[in-house]
């Protein structure tokens, strides 16, 4: 038999190897397997270092790691299918769907809660980052959970898709009391209001707390390009009943029932909201823009605002003084149309007479006001002709009908 310290080392163990050890009191001899030892609660003291070169102890598991109820998963290619007799609870539920139990089959590591508790927690804090900066040689970003999805398959076509994060929130039948969330991100500000204001030209301020920030480029200094879009809503195959909802009390400045103001979306000059047409151009659908709204205002003094009030649409200067309004009508029968002209046609105001409506167009100055028109004038001081070549224009002033004679150019001196 070889000496104790001369046994040949092995590259790995299967878990069935037997160890002989004693209990904590040193009274009984126990026989345990390597797998039992690996599964026993492990307690170690922190080394105080992050890197192995500085003395950090690093545990390595080369294959898959299942924690909690995930250990009920056998780890085979058909886990959760109807042909298997055992599976974890997630695979069992997913196995009843049209897609199947793909989550645990693909997992390198998984943690499933057994008691309805949190399945996994990650946390980090900036004070530790600052305190460890001397030992690390830099100040790290304090990130609770980080993930990467790397698209490096260059075959074309390919079915591979990269996701840095993917999650599903399921609501099953008869669950009608509490809502279900795909993700909730909470801002918890214990430090009081931040100094400064987030604007499109200065989005992040010191002390600011932000629910979600979407960036493009990952901070790289070269080799990257613009991202296609910040947020995309798709049907897969179902649709959202509403795209974005702001609850009445979610924005500072108003509760939705008062006279306050809350900024739901803040954009910079020249940024627009677009509506695309369903036309197909060069094989791509929806590339044409059919309408858009944007602001090109360069200074506040030149700005305007548009506001919907009860029974009116107001156009005001930026301070709120109205410059133009469109009044509502609960039962309109006549429609006013404003139409641009082309070639020799004049731009005009047109009345579209509805059923039981009126063909008239009214211009109503305020009390004591007058109609003012800029027009060329001819034959000043000329005598009136004995006849009216153009007939008479019908007009109503202050409730009384009048007729204005219309002279031909030849009668009025040109």
Q: Whole-prediction pTM value?
A: 0.84
SS3 category, 328: coil
Summary count for the chain: helices (H), strands (E) = 5, 15
Q: Residue 36 and residue 19: Cα distance in Å, rounded?
A: 10
Query: Which residues are bridge partners to 272 per DSSP?
Result: 294
Buried (b) or exposed (e) across 3-35, using 16+ Cβ within 10 A?
eeeeeeeeeeeeeeeeeeeeeeeeeeeeeeeee
| CA proximity to 264, closest of 273, 144, 359 | 273
From first to last of its 414 residues, what are the pLDDT tens digits of the chain?
Answer: 566 667 777 777 788 888 888 888 888 888 888 888 877 777 888 888 889 999 998 888 889 999 999 999 988 887 665 555 568 999 999 989 999 899 999 999 999 999 999 999 999 999 999 999 998 999 999 999 999 999 999 999 999 999 999 999 999 999 999 999 999 999 999 999 999 999 999 999 999 999 999 999 999 999 999 999 999 999 999 999 999 999 999 999 999 999 999 999 999 999 999 999 999 999 999 999 999 999 999 999 999 999 999 999 999 999 999 999 999 999 999 999 999 999 999 999 999 998 888 999 999 999 989 889 998 888 888 888 889 999 999 998 888 999 999 999 888 887
């Amino acid at each position: 038999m070889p000496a104790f310290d001369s046994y040949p080392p092995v590259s790995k163990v299967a878990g069935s190897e037997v160890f002989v050890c004693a209990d904590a009191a040193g009274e009984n001899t126990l026989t345990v397997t390597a797998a039992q030892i690996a599964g026993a609660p492990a307690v170690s003291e922190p080394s105080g270092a992050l890197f192995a070169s500085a003395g950090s102890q690093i545990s390595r598991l080369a294959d898959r790691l299942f924690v909690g109820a995930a250990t009920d998963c056998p780890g085979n290619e058909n886990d959760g299918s109807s042909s298997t007799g055992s599976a974890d609870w997630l695979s069992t539920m997913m196995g009843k769907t049209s897609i199947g139990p793909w989550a645990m089959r693909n997992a390198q590591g998984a943690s499933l809660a057994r008691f309805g508790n949190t399945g996994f927690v990650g946390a980090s804090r900036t004070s530790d980052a600052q305190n460890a900066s001397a030992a690390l040689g830099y100040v790290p970003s304090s990130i609770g959970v980080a993930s990467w999805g790397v698209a490096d398959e260059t075959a074309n076509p390919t079915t591979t898709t990269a996701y840095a994060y993917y999650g599903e929130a399921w609501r099953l039948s008869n669950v009608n009391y509490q809502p279900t969330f795909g993700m909730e991100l909470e801002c918890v500000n214990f430090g009081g209001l931040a100094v400064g204001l987030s604007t499109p030209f200065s989005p992040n301020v010191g002390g600011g707390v932000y629910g979600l920030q979407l960036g493009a480029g990952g901070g790289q200094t070269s080799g990257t390009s613009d991202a296609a879009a910040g947020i995309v809503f798709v049907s897969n195959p179902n649709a959202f009943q509403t795209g974005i909802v702001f609850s009445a009390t979610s924005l500072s400045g108003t509760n939705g029932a008062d006279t306050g103001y809350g900024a739901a979306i803040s954009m910079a000059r020249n940024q627009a909201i677009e509506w695309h047409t369903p036309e197909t151009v060069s094989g791509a659908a929806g590339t044409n823009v059919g309408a858009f709204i944007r602001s090109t205002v360069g200074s506040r003094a030149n700005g305007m605002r548009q506001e919907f009030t009860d029974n009116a649409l107001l156009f005001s200067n930026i301070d709120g003084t109205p410059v133009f309004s469109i009044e509502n009508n609960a039962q309109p029968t006549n429609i006013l149309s404003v139409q641009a002209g082309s070639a020799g046609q004049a731009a005009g105001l047109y009345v579209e007479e509805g059923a039981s409506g009126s063909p008239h167009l009214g211009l109503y100055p305020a009390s004591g006001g007058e109609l003012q028109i800029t027009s060329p004038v001819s034959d000043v001081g000329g005598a009136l002709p004995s006849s009216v070549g153009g007939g008479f224009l019908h007009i109503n002033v202050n409730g009384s009908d009048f007729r204005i004679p219309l002279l031909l150019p030849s009668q009025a001196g040109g």
